[in-house]
Amino acid sequence: MARVHANGIDIEYESFGRESDPAILLIMGFAAQMTMWQQALCEQLAARGFRVIRFDNRDIGLSTHLSHLPAPNPGEVMARRMSGQKVEVPYQLDDMAADAAALLAALGIKSAHIVGASMGGMIAQLVALDHPEKARSLISIFSTTSDRSLPPSSPEAQAALMTRAPSADRAGVIAHTLKGRRAYASTRWPFDEARLSALVGRNFDRSFYPEGTLRQWAAIMAGSPRTERLKSLNLPALVLHGSADTLIGPEAGRHTAQCIPGAEYHEIEGWGHDMPLEAIPIVQGFILDFVARVEERRKKAA
């Protein structure tokens, strides 16, 4: 792994594949380190002729922790959002999109296929909107336009996302995370407690910084719906969602695809808001097929 200084912060990243190959930038979601992108997925995409880059968003993992910024008041943030007032937050999702674009620039990458999961999908959409020269294509994975008319998360999934661990010790954090993940897990495949426990433990050892997740959450809450802006996009887009997602329902994925002209949509039966090993070949297949077609069209147009 390596680090660059971009957009005023230090960004921890890891690159797979040859630098000369077309790039795929992976943007992870809320409160998740880049290691939640399975290494097997990164290596398999790289083996098919792509340079794959995953990175820690600001305030998570080994990228800059913005501890000098004030902690948002959750009650005040929600009250202002519900009343339609402007929500004052330490930073916006647009700032996180600028981080992603600046990372590409720092690595000398003119453009990449921008892939984002959950909050990362929101950020990926904003990279395509705010920094169109950096986006060869957009791949939005179990994400949303943030349109207020979309169904909310299930109460269980929302509680799982927002409830912090009662203790900060390793075992307590692992147990709390596993309990929460069950609330929005896939129904098609068994819940692999042993694998997920090991992954959460490794991430805890790598970096445990719950204070940053509150600022990330506030950025999500303050974000404006992208419904109308997405209608102006002019690039290839792929939207993937699961039928069993209770955190960001499949209606959000369908809506995202409907808003982006010409977007391709695939809804995976029984997939939740997670990435079990069994789902990786399916997701990888859709991504590889899509980016290969985009690259072929680019070659013909050159």
Residues forming beta bridges with residue 53, ordered by sequence position:
15, 25
Distances (CA, A) of 293 to 46, 245, 281: 16, 28, 18
Q: Quick one: pLDDT at residue 277?
A: 94
What are 115-166's pLDDT values in tens digits? Answer: 999 999 999 999 999 999 999 999 999 999 999 999 999 999 999 988 888 8
* Residue 164: both structure tokens together: 């912090």
How far is the C-alpha of 99 from the C-alpha of 64, rounded, in Å?
11
pTM given for the model: 0.97
Give the CA angle between residues 171, 196, 65 to the nearest 5°. Answer: 70
Look at the alpha carbons of 250, 255, 258, 263 in this order and tell me if their dihedral is positive or negative.
negative
Q: Are 260 and 235 in contact (CB under 8 A)?
A: no
Nearest to residue 48, comparing CAs of 238, 290, 237? 290
Q: Are 77 and 221 in contact (CB under 8 A)?
A: yes
| Residue 246, helix vs strand vs coil | coil
Q: Quick one: pLDDT at residue 150?
A: 97
Q: Quick one: pLDDT at residue 154?
A: 96
How far is the C-alpha of 301 from the C-alpha of 130, rounded, in Å?
24
| pLDDT mean for each 10 residues of the chain (302 residues) | 96 98 98 96 96 98 96 83 83 98 98 98 98 98 97 94 89 96 97 97 97 95 95 98 98 98 98 96 97 96 85
The per-residue b/e assignment along 60-99, b for 16 or more CB within 10 angstroms, e otherwise, is bbbbbbeeeeeebeeeebeebbeeeeebebbbbbbbbbbb
Q: Quick one: pLDDT at residue 269?
A: 98
Q: Quick one: pLDDT at residue 79?
A: 82
DSSP 45-77: HHHTT-EEEEEPPTTSTTSPP-TTSPPP-HHHH
Which residue intervals of the chain are DSSP H helices?
A: 39-47, 74-82, 93-106, 119-130, 155-162, 170-182, 193-206, 210-222, 227-230, 250-259, 280-301
* Residue 267: both structure tokens together: 């809804």
Nearest to residue 257, comparing CAs of 282, 284, 226? 226
Q: Are 208 and 174 in contact (CB under 8 A)?
A: no
Q: All domains of the chain, ordered by start, with CATH?
A: 2-152+213-301 (3.40.50.1820)
